[in-house]
Amino acid sequence: MRPVRTVVSEDFFRRFKTIFAPHLATLGIDLPLLERADIEIPGEQYIALWEAAGSANPSVGLELGSQTEAGDFGALGHAMHCAPSVEQMLLTLHTYIVVFAQESRVDYSHAGRLLRITYQVTDNTVLSRRQDAEFAIAAILRQLQLITASPVRPLRVDFEHARPADVAVHKQLFQCPVHFNQPGNSLSLPAEVLELPVRQGNERLFKALAPYLEREREQRSVSDELLPQVTRMIALGMASGVPSLDEVSARMGLSRRTLQRRLKEQEIEFSVLVEEVRRDLAVGYLNHSDFSMTQISLLLGYAESGSFTRAFRRWTGQSPQQFRQAGRGPGTGC
């Protein structure tokens, strides 16, 4: 079985329950997500919930990200707010983002007069993730503003998704050039942001929270990040044909035997993982692209569309055409 990577509800969903509640049943998510701070939701469902909310309000990610508070991210948020410096806050976010969301990664780099903060979802099979990306970038900016009590403004914002039809909220929120169809999601800021004083820095409290965060990080980290690495290699190589274990191990710089052993330690069957990646990519292509069945078949490594159709029926009980039609019925779509 493939391990499930999760996002913790914390206080965020309780604060904004009226926005997310209408979409829970459709996605098979239980109501306690909106009532308790310790509920974990699979990463795919978390992102799908954002996209569902985006079908009602395309700017929901930006709007809610710009309203976040420290408590929305639990202990991680509180540690960020009592960090003794902006750089320590960014390092904390980079190191412990897994405590809040296992499928997310935040990095930052400082070169010359530029500070760049990047965000990404590490699961390559999740194709539609605009709202999650816009929420994350808006929330990071909001936290910097709160922590420094300063009107921090970016010099540039990048998003990996396509340009939306309406970018008025983007312009209002960021007040800088916003670029789409980029390699990743990022905030580019003046390096001077790193020198801004923090409003409530409390090194003693920060040190008290650090051991808890480290324990949570260790528990929630997938061992050596093996699963996302293998999943990513399979997804990237799929269009050239189904990657073999030998091909994936070579790309990872491992011997076939070493990769087999490490997969076995985590009770992951390579052939099952390939099938799951194929299925997840197929669902993403059908829901969020206009590719023909022949094109999707080739992208998934099938020699002809009939094989893809038979496999999809086995996974879902529907043909790809039926699945796409149902997903584009009234009230669906982003």
In a structure prediction context, what are the per-residue pLDDT tens digits for the chain, which is 334 residues long? 445 678 889 889 999 999 999 999 888 888 888 888 888 888 888 999 999 999 999 999 999 999 999 999 999 999 999 999 999 999 999 999 999 998 899 999 988 899 999 999 987 777 789 999 999 999 999 999 999 999 999 999 999 999 999 999 999 999 999 999 999 999 999 999 999 999 888 889 999 999 999 988 887 765 546 777 788 888 888 878 888 999 888 887 778 888 888 888 777 889 998 998 899 889 888 887 888 999 999 999 888 889 999 999 999 899 999 988 876 544 333 2
The pLDDT, as a whole number, for residue 176 is 97
Predicted confidence at residue 283, as pLDDT, reads 87
Residue-level pLDDT at 327: 66
Confidence (pTM): 0.72
The confidence score (pLDDT) of residue 4 equals 61
269 half-sphere exposure, CB direction, 13 A CA radius: 5
- Reduce the DSSP state of residue 10 to 3 states and report it: coil
Taking the C-alpha atoms of residue 49 and residue 27, their distance in angstroms, rounded to an integer, is 7
**pLDDT of amino acid 229:** 79
Could you give the C-alpha distances from 249 to 38, 119, 302, in angstroms and in order?
A: 37, 27, 22
CA nearest to 159, candidates 177, 181, 140: 181
Closest CA relative to residue 83, chosen from 143, 138, 150, 141? 143
Please state, in angstroms and rounded to a whole number, the distance separating the CA atoms of residues 100 and 156: 26
| DSSP 8-class letter at 101 | B
Domains along the chain with CATH numbers: 6-220 (3.90.1520), 223-327 (1.10.10.60)
Amino acid code (one letter) for 275: E
| CB half-sphere exposure, 26, CA atoms < 13 A | 16
Q: H or E segment at 207?
A: helix 203-220
Q: Is 156 exposed, middle or buried (0-12, 13-18, 19+ CB in 10 A)?
A: middle
Contact (Cβ atoms closer than 8 angstroms) between residue 52 and residue 29:
no
CA 330 to each of CA 185, 327, 333: distance values in angstroms, whole numbers, following the listed order: 31, 9, 8
